[in-house]
């Protein structure tokens, strides 16, 4: 697991999940199931900015980019090639 992925998993589990005791599967849907909500996504956006210096534009704040840890990681990997 990449460092970035590890950091995201840690942050989401420790800070965002409403039910952290259930654990976090990197493939599972966390938005649709209500495990995190839109305010949490915004906290994650702030975290990503601080941690990885990536500013996420409004138009990228869509379900597909944040529905799971996989999706978040895939989205962020776009910034690597830039």
Residues within the interface to other proteins (CB under 8 A): 15-20, 31, 34, 37-43, 45-46, 58, 61-63, 66
Whose Cβ is closer to other proteins: residue 2's or residue 55's?
55
Distance CA 14, CA 10 (A): 6
3-state SS assignment for residue 54: coil
Residues 15, 54, 24, 38: what is their CA dihedral angle, to the nearest 10 degrees? 60
Whose Cβ is closer to other proteins: residue 1's or residue 64's?
64
Q: Tell the smallest beta-carbon distance from residue 41 to other proteins (Å).
A: 5
């Amino acid at each position: 697991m990449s460092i970035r992925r590890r950091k995201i998993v840690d942050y989401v589990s420790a800070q965002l999940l409403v039910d952290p005791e259930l654990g976090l599967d990197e493939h599972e849907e966390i938005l649709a199931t209500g495990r995190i909500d839109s305010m949490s996504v915004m906290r994650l956006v702030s975290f990503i900015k601080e941690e990885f210096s990536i500013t996420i534009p409004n138009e990228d704040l869509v379900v597909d980019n944040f529905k799971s840890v996989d999706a978040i990681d895939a989205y962020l990997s776009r910034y690597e090639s830039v």
